Amino acid sequence: MISQTQISTLLTEQILNAGTQWSLGTFGAIAEFSRDPDEPAKLTTSEKEIAAVTERGGIAIRLVEELRPLASENITKLSWSHRVALCLPRSACEMSRRTVLTELGPDSAALRIEDRGNVLFDLGLDALQTDLCIRFADNAIVAKLREHVGRSVFEPGNPAMATILSASPHRVFISRAGRIEVYQGIPSASGKSPDGPHTHVLPKLLKSRRTHAATEPIPDGWIPCAHLYPPHPAHDGLGKSRPFDTISHGSFQRMIEAFGPPESLAIKRRVMDAVNAGEPPSTTAQTRHGRTSTRIALRQMKAAGHASAALPAWLASFDQAGSEGDDDESAIHHDG
């Protein structure tokens, strides 16, 4: 049984770690928060909430009673990703489910005092676990949007989305577990998302009505309402390869042990024990997630420089891609 003290300790340690990245949203619409090591930030830690706010954006996670962390790893093209999903029971995660542009009034819960009089609008994208909102300080823009309240922002001929994109408002994504606010501008359609806090909204993926990627091992009845991504041992914050960091690796393996699926950890341990003992390759798991755990264990051993003579044979049997070399991958890891 995971205790509230364990959860509080995990969240406090990670909000204080500038290398940890965060996300909040749903499948097809996500807000991301990260900060540079030397970037000024207002940090808050308490028994009820942890928060970090910079000039580019902010995050607050509330320690609600039913919050459950789930640590997991997943395979990428040539490496692996890791994350901790902050989950709530489906019965406790549902948000407003609005389907049209809706004015919510002043954002009294804004992370910065100066934003609390600004007007919040729900985009009406009907996500189960997230209200996807925008916030304006400009009364003229607010007046323009009010003309289109009650309509879908994707309705043919509706100018609301063009108004929103040109105004580049704060994006405010809210779940029962907290919120992420993004103050940086929205890039043009052909532009690259800025480093640091930003959002992605992909209508085609939203239409799937999924709450998370199929590759993420979330137990039935639970919904991820936010994620945290501790520093990766083989990649820096921008996803570029770096020398293997045993401290970061050990830290996340302890999270897996405390908050991860027990079967995945057991499979990884069996694989590592077999490789270290010089045993020939053998099948250790039949399920999709079990096979993934086998491949991840082998890639981690290779990245850490394990000298077992049996490792190349295991890689050749189970993970030929992992034996080809390292890859550069994006730092926040959205599978699917």
pLDDT tens sequence across 286-320? 777 788 999 999 999 999 999 899 999 999 999 87
E strand intervals along the chain:
21-26, 29-33, 42-45, 49-53, 57-62, 68-75, 80-89, 102-106, 119-122, 131-136, 170-175, 178-182, 198-201, 222-229
Please state the domain extents for the chain: 261-319
DSSP secondary structure letter of residue 230: P
Higher pLDDT: 1 or 103? It is 103
Q: Phi and psi at residue 88, in whole multiples of 5°?
A: -130, 155
pLDDT for 231 beyond 50: yes
Tokens of 311: 């490792």
Angle at 334 between CA 12 and CA 132, to 5 degrees: 75
Instruction: Quote the pTM value.
Output: 0.92
Higher pLDDT: 328 or 199? It is 199
| Interatomic CA distance for residues 159 and 156, integer angstroms | 9
**How many other CB atoms sit within 10 Å of the CB of residue 311?**
18
Which H helix or E strand runs over 92?
A: helix 90-93
| Interatomic CA distance for residues 8 and 62, integer angstroms | 10
Task: Determine the distance from the C-alpha atom of residue 5 to the mean position of all C-alpha atoms in its chain, rounded to a whole number.
Answer: 22
**pLDDT-derived band of residue 333, with 50, 70 and 90 as boundaries?**
very low
CB 213 within 8 A of CB 336: yes
pLDDT in tens, 170-223: 999 999 999 999 999 998 776 778 899 999 999 999 999 999 998 898 999 999
The pLDDT value recorded for residue 323 is 55
Pick from 107, 96, 130: nearest CA to 226: 130
